[in-house]
Structure 1
Amino acid sequence: MLAAARPRVVAALAARFRDLDLAEDAFSAACEAALREPAPIRDPAAWLYVAARRRALDALRRADREARVLADQPEPDPVGDVVPFPEPIPDDRLRLLFTCCHPALAREARIALALRVICGVSVARIARAFLVAEPAMYQRLTRAKAKIKAANIPFETPPSREWQFRVGTVLETLETALAIAYRNAAGTGETGGLAPEVERLAVLLAELMPQEAEAHGLLALVCLVRSREAARVDREGTMVPLSGQDVAQWDIARIEAGRTALDRATAIGKPGPLQVQAAIHLVHCLRRETGQTDWAAILRLYDVLTLMRPTPVVAVNRALALARATSAEEGLAALDAIETGRLTQFLPFHAVRADLLASLGKVGEARAEYDAALALDPEPAEARLLAARRDALGS
């Protein structure tokens, strides 16, 4: 409950005090205080905001900056957890998202900072998403926050004329957040509320930027990915791969919402990678109607995505599509042709390679790849699937 309130509360604190470090420190202190409360807290977000605000004010007073803070209107003197949460808080998160995606910051730093501050993703998960070591990601985040403070970057949504310089990074941030949420098939724990928050922001962006094709593409992608949530984990808590999911559990309303959003994006006539990814997921979702997966169509879409985004991660996904559309031998050859580099830290690379090796009867090599994937700390549901597949290989 406390972790779920983090993005909303930190965004509100950062918007008020214009200091990301202060906001995060105050929130942490408020969480510690909440854990000591003897009675249940009815509204954790409101309680944490009030408690964190008090701690932030105390910190500023100790730093002899009271005048700058108290220039605002007098603060209420709340008791317990009955004070309503201040509004407009949802806009605070959008405002802070655009602040973190300021063009003065390096691209990866923008995305990482937004994921940490607005989405509440742990530094460890962000580091895995970027295939870098956790200490290196800490350094990037620290430098980014310092630059925001030094450059006096305003905590406000920029005028619409400036959105074009930030919207690409905003969309990429939400895409990355969705990918992190998707890794957690069970939808619990630290990232349990991440997918709904990404969807909320995607809806808002599509409404605010109706002529931005990729905003509709993101919304389509989110809807189609989330349409399969109910089928992603079995009763034992093991992740169910897409090919083995019960299509009757898929959410028809979300599939149709995704299809509608993709149609709107296509009508604008500005193709982009988010639209292509949404189209790939739509083809997967069509199995609910046809009973089959059109892997040839998916492979063609990955060919297009490779032209738009020629990254090793896309190449791994294309190799799997090639294997399904043609043969495991061709897919494995395409996988082995990729310049690995940081892919050794990319769990799906090892999982896909293990799957293809196992299908070719190369048990020893497949087992080694499953072990490599498990060593990269997968989410619990995925770890159970990988371990089960490895154990099914025998000795």
Structure 2
Amino acid sequence: MIGAGEAMAAAQPRVVAALAARFRDLDLAEEAFAEACAAALPVWRAEPPRDATAWLWRAAFRKALDMRRREQTRRSAVLDAPAPEPTPEDELMALDEPIPDERLRLIFVCCHPAIAPESRAALTLKVVCGLSTERLARAFLMAEPAMLQRITRAKRKIRDAGVPFEVPGRAAWPERLSAVLATLEIAYAQAYEDAALAGETAGFADEVLRLSGLLAELTPDEPEVLALAALVRYAEARRPARLDDHGAMVPIGRQDMSQWRRPMIYEGLELLNRAASFGRTGPCQLLAAIHGAHLSRLETGTTPWPAIVDLYDTLVLLRPGPVTAVNRAVAVGEAQGPEAGLAALPPPMDWLPWHAARAHLLEQAGHVPEALEALRAALAMEPPPAERLFLQRAAERLAG
């Protein structure tokens, strides 16, 4: 039986998405859900009810109605007449809509062109996925106060511009797709960096797997959409091999390939082949191709590091940035030697993957004291449990 906190965290994205879509107010949705959780704690006591999401939905819906009735400053808002005691399924799943999922619908709303491009993904991850501002700041490599300002401005823009809380017509989808894809990709990256799925983003892996598949069905002629669905399937195919028997993360090159899920790999391959058939290469296709190159070890027994470096060289042109640069440096280190990898690392940054990559390359180059220092810097940044255990083992090995 899961605890109350876990049940609330699991219900948050679904309930907040439905409240926001119903009341057309992002702040109201978040505040009503928070009040519902506060009301739940003394009632639930030892354990949550069988259907915690339904309980929280009904409580949050009532809270939102009460808050809206008390609100006098927004009398001009046009609201739907509240339905009597709706079930979560009634409110959250509108199967006759073009986007038959409340969260995917709200992602399209939050990715409205009126909102600044750099704010769309952050706002969606905050409202729809329930990511904390602190976690968002880490994901976007920026200070927490700056991230809070970005989200606040985006919410204000939705309110002041009168952005409609409705499913956009299909003609409007292309102008929003890049932001929608960025949102799903970042959401999945948060789950991927936690090999044990032990943190607040644990549910993102299955959710993005589902939503990316749904989006691929809705837009079968969009190669980047198909490629994102392929990427997620490639990565999830390796999920069973990402932990050892003691719960430590296993790097991709050391994973037991017999644990990789072949049906999911084949599904990803079919999607990526369809994406490639359009002849319009994009970042998601390159990222999926990189994952596919790693998976080719199933057939060849070796990882094609030079080919992976070539893919990263192209990705750097389409999506420059520290994430791409750090991953490319690791690939360069495998293909051309650790010193070349160290030379390819971007300038120092206060980011866990940068320290971890540097530690790996330094160890490979024989610079043990510096590698140990880099590992300690990475450990100081509070990695997830599986990653922490992996780094601790590496530090103990170097120190011993």
Same-fold status (TM-score > 0.5)? yes
RMSD of aligned C-alpha atoms? 2.0
Secondary structure in structure 2 of the residue aligned to 1:156: coil
State the partner residue of 2:43.
Answer: 37
Q: Any residues of structure 2 matched to 1:18-33 within 5 Å, and which?
A: 18-33=24-39
Q: 1:16 aligns with which of 3, 17, 22?
A: 22
Task: String of CA shifts for 1:135-170, please: whole Å, max 9, x gaps.
Answer: 221111111111111111111222222222111111
Q: 2:330 aligns with which of 308, 312, 320?
A: 320
Q: Structure 2: where are the runs of 5+ without partners?
A: 1-6, 95-99
- Tell me if the contact between 1:94 and 1:157 (Cα under 8 Å) persists in the aligned partners: no
TM-aligned CA distance change 1:235 to 1:36, over 3 Å: farther
User: Is 2:202 aligned against 1:195?
Assistant: no
Read off the aligned partner of 2:31 and give its amino acid letter. D
- Tell me if the contact between 1:350 and 1:369 (Cα under 8 Å) persists in the aligned partners: yes
Q: 2: CA distance between counterparts of 1:83 and 1:350?
A: 44
User: Is 2:375 aligned against 1:370?
Assistant: yes
State the partner residue of 1:344.
Answer: 349
User: Is 2:167 aligned against 1:157?
Assistant: yes
TM-aligned CA distance change 1:83 to 1:296, over 3 Å: closer
State the partner residue of 2:70.
Answer: 62
Offset of residue 108 of structure 1:
2.1
State the partner residue of 2:3.
Answer: none
Offset of residue 366 of structure 1:
0.9
Secondary structure in structure 2 of the residue aligned to 1:344: coil
Q: Any residues of structure 2 matched to 1:1-395 within 5 Å, and which?
A: 1-38=7-44, 40-64=48-72, 72-73=80-81, 75-77=83-85, 86-88=91-93, 91-335=101-345, 338=346, 340=347, 344-394=349-399
Q: 1: CA distance between counterparts of 2:128 and 2:68?
A: 23
Identify which range, 61-70 or 156-165, moves more after superposition.
61-70
Read off the aligned partner of 2:70 and give its amino acid letter. R
- Tell me if the contact between 1:57 and 1:69 (Cα under 8 Å) persists in the aligned partners: no
Read off the aligned partner of 1:393 and give its amino acid letter. L
- Tell me if the contact between 1:202 and 1:219 (Cα under 8 Å) persists in the aligned partners: yes
TM-aligned CA distance change 1:69 to 1:379, over 3 Å: same
Offset of residue 189 of structure 1:
3.1
Task: String of CA shifts for 1:183-227, please: whole Å, max 9, x gaps.
Answer: 111113311110111111111111111111100010000100111
Read off the aligned partner of 2:23 and give its amino acid letter. F
Offset of residue 288 of structure 1:
2.0
Identify which range, 9-18 or 130-139, moves more after superposition.
130-139
Identify which range, 207-216 or 134-143, moves more after superposition.
134-143
Q: 2: CA distance between counterparts of 1:233 and 1:58?
A: 47
Offset of residue 285 of structure 1:
1.0
Q: TM-score, normalised by structure 2?
A: 0.92
Q: 2: CA distance between counterparts of 1:129 and 1:176?
A: 8
Offset of residue 77 of structure 1:
4.4
Q: 2: CA distance between counterparts of 1:131 and 1:74?
A: 41
Identify which range, 58-67 or 262-271, moves more after superposition.
58-67
Q: TM-score, normalised by structure 1?
A: 0.93
- Tell me if the contact between 2:283 and 2:318 (Cα under 8 Å) persists in the aligned partners: yes
Q: 2: CA distance between counterparts of 1:310 and 1:71?
A: 43
Secondary structure in structure 2 of the residue aligned to 1:271: coil
Q: 1: CA distance between counterparts of 2:209 and 2:262?
A: 16
Q: 1: CA distance between counterparts of 2:390 and 2:20?
A: 40
Read off the aligned partner of 2:327 and give its amino acid letter. N
Identify which range, 218-227 or 238-247, moves more after superposition.
238-247
Q: 2: CA distance between counterparts of 1:11 and 1:74?
A: 16
